[in-house]
Chains A and B, each alone.
Chain A
Amino acid sequence: DQQVKQNSPSLSVQEGRISILNCDYTNSMFDYFLWYKKYPAEGPTFLISISSIKDKNEDGRFTVFLNKSAKHLSLHIVPSQPGDSAVYFCAANSGAGGTSYGKLTFGQGTILTVHP
């Protein structure tokens, strides 16, 4: 029972264009959502997050949108750069604090390729 799903295994985008990565979740107890980026042979690195009390969070070229009613979030990267080519994982957390602080439920990742 996968509570966090990334239905697109891969996405290919031209440099300078927008990349949109999608994520769906089923557990309504999730109240914090994160995106991680992973290069080959490296561990995931935190990219951006959003609390369930917000619907948008922006950090430079990266924006995360949350639609709670649809249980859907998306990561927008604009403009996309070849260095953004990596695997992007969506993750969710329930109970912002306490013992579940670092207990993340991950999606299976989307491979983003940005072509020059």
Chain B
Amino acid sequence: DTAVSQTPKYLVTQMGNDKSIKCEQNLGHDTMYWYKQDSKKFLKIMFSYNNKELIINETVPNRFSPKSPDKAHLNLHINSLELGDSAVYFCASSRHGGGPGELFFGEGSRLTVL
């Protein structure tokens, strides 16, 4: 069983469209994250939720809206997609009491905006 799973793994879409990426973790963790890996390969945090509550919100355009229906799910919705949104988006989770920064990542969702 995959611990942190993301769907879809690949997404190709046109500029201006709205798309969502879903993430689910079966590890029983309280905290979930979205990271973005840009073209220069840097992984940068976007959002973090703890028990459905938003706790980290980096400088991200408000076209990006995370939603956490429960602590096992964290979805990412992107409105009015732009070319610069093309990237690999990684979902991750962490457990309370674990070492700082010890995250469990999903396989990533590669978004290509044409």
Contacts and interface: CB of A to CB of B under 8 A. Distances in A.
Q: Do the two chains bind?
A: yes
Interface of A: 2, 32, 34, 41-46, 49, 89, 91, 93, 96-97, 99-104, 106-109
B101 A102 contact: yes
Interface of B: 4, 31, 33, 40-45, 48, 50, 55-56, 90, 92, 94, 99-108
B43 A44 contact: yes
Main DSSP-derived SS at the B contact region = strand
Contact of B42 (A2, A43, A93): A2
Given A43-B105, A49-B101, A97-B100, 10 more contacts: A32-B99, A43-B108, A44-B90, A99-B50, A100-B56, A101-B94, A101-B101, A102-B33, A102-B103, A103-B48
Contact of A43 (B31, B40, B56, B92): B92
Given A32-B101, A43-B90, A99 B44 contact: no
Contacts of B102: 34, 46, 49
Given A32-B101, A43-B90, A43-B92, A106 B107 contact: no
